[in-house]
Structure 1
Amino acid sequence: MGKVPPSFRSIPTNQLMKKPTPSPPAPPRDYRNRTAVRDSTRLPQNTQPPPREPFRNPFKSPSLSDAKSLFNSIATTSRIPLDLKFHNSVLQSYAAIAAVDDTVKLFQHILKSQPKFSPGRSTFLILLSHACRATDSSIADVHRVLNLMVNSGCEPDQVTTDVVVRSLCETGRIDEAKDLMKELTEKHSPPDTYTYNFLLKHLCKCRSLRVAYEFVDEMRETFGVKPDLVSFTIMIDHVCNSKDLREAMFLVDQLGNAGFKPDCFVYNTIMKGYCTLSKGSEAVGVYKKMKEEGVEPDRVTYNTLIFGLSKSGRVEEARRYLKTMVDAGFEPDAATYTSLMNGMCRKGESLGALSLLEEMEAKGCAPNDCTYNTLLHGLCKARLMDKGMELYELMKSNGVKLESNGYGTLVRSLVKTGKVAEAYEVFDYAVDSKSLTDASAYSTLETTLKWLKKAKEQGLVV
């Protein structure tokens, strides 16, 4: 990013100069292999290799009779043995265009016509995935494939459960995935932790918390499958997103009762929830509990805490935690400074936020788009239009994109002060730099100009 203009500064310019970034080393030369070197007909270096041909499905229609005929033709004319990989490829190709019932019937036809064909677990997983994903499929089709699998001596295992659960969840059949997991756990094999937590995450996302709790309790009490630290984290994240922070702290206690120690990620998740609700005191309480439990904060912890305190208007306290952060060995980044600037602008201390930009660059931390837009919004809200326009020119010279808040505030401030031409220029930059969509940028400008026209009619502005 560019430097802050001289009129912004309270310290000598040379103290804010950044060290030039060294150029990256040149990539190693691309030496061709010996065969290519000997090849006098090789392509020029700038010639791109020919693109791969897209996969062409040999089955032209979902007709079962046509599929059987095509398979028979290939089987009788092939000069090489038809192995498991070939048969799986046939089934997978046909499953891409055919109904579940017809795919199973083609499988049975292959079994009858090819006595040497012995289907493997991979074969049944192809059929099982198709039965779970197909739009015409029912739970009876899934059971049909599972029965074929068992009758062939291939016992469903954890991979089988994973394919069933993931395929059903990804097609929105959450309840069927839950029921089949319980059935497979009872009859064959319990799921691994990855499959268990995958389903739990979908239950939290698509069903009520009560349903997720009931699933966890039933799996634990009936089948002995217990939640792990990741399971509790999923539930804690869900209740934090739903802003039920009391329930989140209850889950932390339950996590401890289950023999797990909450980690930094768990505490950060809860702190983030409190900060979203502008509850800085509660976020500090979580931080103190975290320290009491012997869990060391990380950079995310401090950034979250500084963000929450700044949002709550407790900027001085946020600054104290900034010092604690540095003392703990974590250098503030753009997110840290931007949070503080946001808090200072909210309190009407926009000039103080501007000096913080100087401090930020002096320490070698480059502002990002959010940093500039936060400061631009604050300066315009404080009616410091000279400073705001100077910052805008800096942003424009460095190609910084305008965010909707910064753009809207700047346009409205310019129009209210009678600088309509400048507002149009800002609109042009927003569109040219693709900061906002044309419609969004124009809507803001149009609304502001309509306000100006109405205000003039009422004599509110000259």
Structure 2
Amino acid sequence: MDSNPVKTKLNNSMLFSVSCVESKSDTTHTTCSINFLRNYAFLVFPTPELEELCKVVSCSIGGLDDLESSLNQLRLSLSSLLVTEVIKHCENVAPTRRLLRFFLWSVKNFSLEDKDFNYAVRVFAEKKDHTAMEILISDLRNEGRRMESQTFSVVADMLVKLGREDEALGIFKNLEKFNCERDSFSLTAIVNALCAKGHAKKAEGVVYHHKDKIAGVEPCVYKSLLYGWSFQENVKEARRVIKEMKSAGIELDLYCYNTFLRCLCAANVKRNPSGLVPEALNVMMEMRSHRITPTSISYNILLSSLGKTRRVKESCRVLDLMKKTSCAPDWITYYLVARVLYLTGRFGKGNMIVDEMIEQRLTPDRKFYYDLIGVLCGVERVNFAVELFEKMKKSSLGGYGPVYDVLIPKLCRGGDFEKGRELWDEAVASGVDVSFSSDVLDPSITEVFKPTRKVEEFNLKECKMAKKKVNMKQKIFKGKKDKKIVSNRKKYVSK
């Protein structure tokens, strides 16, 4: 029996394909199956030609002219699949400039297909190499090749992320020059790309001028516009989009309302913190009227905003409201409430919230403990951080290294070398690697943090005495000045 699982899998696939070929009389199916076998074997077992080309392209010695010279010296039979595989194998190893020179060299020495150009364009777009992508797009256009809709989607997304949204719009307006249809797919692609970075106004312009193209994709287009205005925290425009969706008969779902809720809360954090809870609850009431039940995600959006404004009482009330409305809080809910309690000095209440979460048998992510332990250390409550760490260990989550890295130095700088040594021994016994040396446990090396010295009593008295002397001098000077003015006035009157 063959011990190589990859080879075994290939053999099984070949047997299956051959049986399919034998069972079909149509020559088209036979040809396709044979091509599939060749391609699959090429991918699983790299050929010497592929290995040699990858070695030359990924070599870091020499410039681009040297690369082309080395390629010219090779005696290889190029193919469309070979060129594509070289780029696929080298895209994370070789610089994009070397990949571009290899591809342009391949174009000169072999007639590549449109799909090869499209694949290369997508690779350079994902690498965010605007120059390389622009060169290939220009060649693709000048040679009359066809740009695939998927390629345009990737290119538009990359250009908008790079701040070149006008360039993306220019390509969309001239898609016919790339033999690419300006259909619902390409329209959705440009709208999604623009709205993802908050260019909702430009996206609406595209939709307005191509209303005949959005048939069948209206929900996707309107959701993108809603996200775009929410990205800008423009509540008025986001509400307008929701009204247009209702009038167009588009069914609003949980995503739409959560997106609008996020927009509303973000705007109120900056302009009207006291309106966070009432306005958010009004949106949730509207959701229920449309038979959409708010989930923990909806409440977490509100709790996150309340935490940013340190609204402690409202956060606790929202948590209680969730329990009353039968919306089960998740670990993120408890995290948001505990965090705002710790930040505002309600440590006992915060510990109760954490215990409640554990009693509910919710398994949080490691981030739950990482962040809360960091908050407690930041507000100088290391004892509570150690207690929380003990709860984390009981949950058997693992990943304790970052916690040891924070707690041990913090304890030692606070003067608690005994507890620091205990945690150090615990980490060593567990085989956990820490990012600092054992010198931190030495009191003669580690500088212990000292609280700010209080101002002594006699300093205050001296300050008061000095202030009195200054006031006396000012009064004496003012009195002399007034007497001089009076005497001068008498002299002037007598004259």
TM-score, with normalisation over the residues of structure 2? 0.56
Please give the per-residue CA displacement for 1:195-254, whole angstroms capped at 9, x wherever unaligned: 433333333456x62xx5234423532563337333333344344445444543344344
Q: Report the secondary structure of 1:260's partner residue.
A: coil
Choose 262-271 or 244-253, whichever is displaced more: 244-253
Residue matched to 2:254: 264
Secondary structure, in 3 states, of the residue corresponding to 1:303?
Answer: helix
In 2, Cα distance between equivalents of 1:94 and 1:357: 53
Q: Does 1:217 align with 2:209?
A: no
- Alignment equivalent of 1:144, drawn from 114, 133, 142: 142
Q: What is the one-letter code of the residue matched to 1:214?
A: K
What secondary structure sits across from 1:452 in the alignment? Answer: coil
Q: Specify the code of the residue in structure 2 equivalent to 1:196.
A: L
Q: Cα gap change, 1:304/1:128 in structure 2, threshold over 3 Å: closer, same or farther?
A: closer
Distance 1:43 1:225, change over 3 A: closer
Task: Please state how far the C-alpha of 1:388 moved relative to its aligned partner.
Answer: 4.3
Quickly say closer, same or farther: Cα 1:70–1:255, change in 2 above 3 A. Answer: same
Contact 2:190 2:203 in 1 (8 A): no
1:127 partnered with 2:125:
no
CA contact (8 A) 1:309 1:315 kept: yes
In 2, distance between residues paired with 1:419 and 1:395?
21
SS at match of 2:174: helix
As a proportion of its length, which structure holds more helix?
2
Q: What amino acid sits opposite 1:252 in the alignment?
A: I
After TM superposition, give the deviation of residue 430 of structure 1 in Å: 8.8
Q: 1:168–1:234: structure 2 CA closer, same or farther, 3 Å change rule? A: closer
Which of 311, 315, 337 is residue 340 of structure 1 equivalent to?
337
Tell me if the contact between 1:344 and 1:350 (Cα under 8 Å) persists in the aligned partners. yes
CA distance in 1, matches of 2:135, 2:191: 23
Following the alignment from structure 2 to structure 1, what is the Cα–Cα distance between the partners of residues 361 and 119? 53
Name the SS of the counterpart of 1:348 in structure 2.
coil
- Report if aligned partners of 1:62, 1:97 keep a CA contact under 8 Å in 2: no
Structure with the greater alpha carbon radius of gyration:
2
State whether structure 2 residue 366 is matched by structure 1 residue 369.
yes
User: In the superposition, relative to structure 1, how do residues 372 and 275 fare at CA in structure 2: closer, same or farther (>3 Å)?
Assistant: farther
Structure 1 unaligned spans of 5+: 1-41, 75-86, 111-122, 150-155, 444-448
Report SS of the residue matched to 2:329.
coil
The aligned residue for residue 354 of structure 2 is: 357
Correspondence 1:140-219 to 2 at 5 A: 140-145=138-143, 147-148=144-145, 160-167=148-155, 169-170=157-158, 175-184=166-175, 189-193=181-185, 195-205=186-196, 209=199, 212-219=200-207
The Cα offsets for residues 306-337 of structure 1, whole Å up to 9 and x where unpaired, read as 44445545555445544554455543221122
Evaluate the alpha carbon distance shift between residue 196 and residue 405 of structure 1 in structure 2; reply closer, same or farther with a 3 A threshold: farther
Residues in 1 aligned to 2:117 and 2:110: alpha-carbon distance in whole angstroms: 9
Taking only aligned residues, the RMSD between alpha carbons, in angstroms, comes to: 5.2
298-307 or 246-255, which deviates more: 246-255
Deviations 1:376-428 (A, max 9, x none): 46766777665543333444565655798997699657745x32554576689
* TM-score, L = length of structure 1: 0.59
**Aligned-partner residue type, residue 332 of structure 1:** P
Give the AA of the match of 1:270.
F
Amino acid in the other structure paired with 1:203: L
Q: Tell which has more relative contact order, 1 or 2 (C-alpha 8 A, sep 6+).
A: 1
Aligned residues: 372
Contact 1:290 1:296 (C-alpha < 8 Å) held by counterparts: yes
1:288 aligns with 2:285: yes
Which whole-Å deviations, capped at 9, do the CAs of 1:43-83 have from their partners, x for residues lacking one?
57xx7767954465458575799599854xx9xxxxxxxxx
The within-5 A match list for 1:314-333 is 314-326=311-323, 329-333=326-330
Shift in CA distance, 325/391, structure 1 to aligned 2, threshold 3 Å: closer
Matched residue type, 2:183? P
Residue 392 (structure 1) aligns with: 389
* Corresponding position of 2:62: none
